[in-house]
Amino acid sequence: MALRVVGAGLGRTGTNSLMTALEMILPGECHHMYKVFVKDEAANWRDIAADRNMALLDQVMTDYVASVDWPSSAFWEHLANANPDALILLSVRESGEKWFKSASDTIFQGIDKAEGVWKEMVDTLFATTFTRDFLDKEKAIAAYEAHNANVRAKADPARLLEWQATDGWEPICERLGLPVPSEPFPHTNSTEDFLKMRRGD
């Protein structure tokens, strides 16, 4: 199954909302870290990151019509080349500072406590595609900004859409040639939502 959207944005840039939104307008599933959990893909992504195993990456992505979030966004360039008609969607925050605060308040706490194959996946992914020092504010923001700059430099401008959660449906639907849904754009997995889920509220 060909990807219609290749997400190049890192986690905590509205990617859970994007997953929900894309599954509302496209005929299939959107890959996201959430799917790594529910489909038990951690070992595959560890091996993809460790060996640059693009054949395994293509195999994992076979059943999806779109991708957003880590870990797939770390391999956006391969996925974009493998799906030349796909929109490259770079989701970003207003600033690196705001991105780091959101990430450090949520996913970085869980990542730092990961165990077993999940720790292996995260350690390998961050060491090879981001930074090992993700809890260091300056190094994490530098890695975030370097990732975004790399996407802007390498992606075909005709295929690239840079997007923030406040942009909503319109730019995505316009680029995909799809009507704007009557439903409001879904805004999910805020920091408060994430922490409530962690606490079991």
pLDDT at residue 197 is higher than 50: no
142 pLDDT band (50/70/90 cuts)? very high
What pLDDT is attached to residue 1?
66
* Neighbouring-strand partners of residue 31: 67
CA distances from 42 to 15, 133, 196 (A): 19, 21, 24
The pairing of strands 87-91 and 160-163 is parallel
List the domains of the chain with CATH numbers.
5-199 (3.40.50.300)
Q: How far apart are CA 27 and CA 24, in angstroms?
A: 8
At residue 135 the predicted structure's pLDDT band, cuts being 50, 70 and 90, is very high
List of E strands, the chain: 5-7, 29-31, 64-67, 87-91, 160-163
Mean pLDDT for 166-194 is 86
Bridge partners (DSSP) listed for residue 64: 29
Residue 85, classed as helix, strand or coil, is coil
Q: Is 155 helix (H, G, I), strand (E, B) or coil?
A: coil
DSSP 201: -
- Under the banding of pLDDT at 50, 70 and 90, the label for residue 37 is very high
| Separation between Cα atoms, residue 40 and residue 58, nearest integer Å | 16
What are the Cα distances from residue 105, in Å, to 43, 111, 112, 121, 190? 26, 11, 12, 21, 11
Which phi and psi angles does 3 have, rounded to 5°? -80, 135
71-95 pLDDT tens trace: 999 999 999 999 999 999 999 999 9
pLDDT exceeds 90 at position 22: yes
CB distance 123 to 41 below 8 Å? no
